[in-house]
Amino acid sequence: MTKKFTKEHEWIEVAGDTGTVGITNYAQDKMGDVVFVELPKLGASAAQNQQIAVVESVKAASEIYAPVSGTVSAVNDALVKEPQLVNQAAEGAGWFFKLKLANPKELDGLMDAAAYAKFTAESA
CATH number at residue 87: 2.40.50.100
> What pLDDT sits at residue 93?
97
- The predicted pLDDT at position 117 comes to 97
Cα separation, 15 vs 7, whole angstroms:
21
| Domain count across the chain | 1
Q: How far is CA 25 from the centre of its chain?
A: 11
Q: For residue 99, give the nearest of 6, 27, 22 by alpha carbon.
A: 22
Q: What is the pLDDT of residue 1?
A: 77
Where the chain has pLDDT below 50, the residues are none
Looking at residue 65, what is its pLDDT?
A: 97
Domain that holds residue 64: 2-123
At 124 the pLDDT is: 65
Q: Tell me, what's the pLDDT at 123?
A: 75
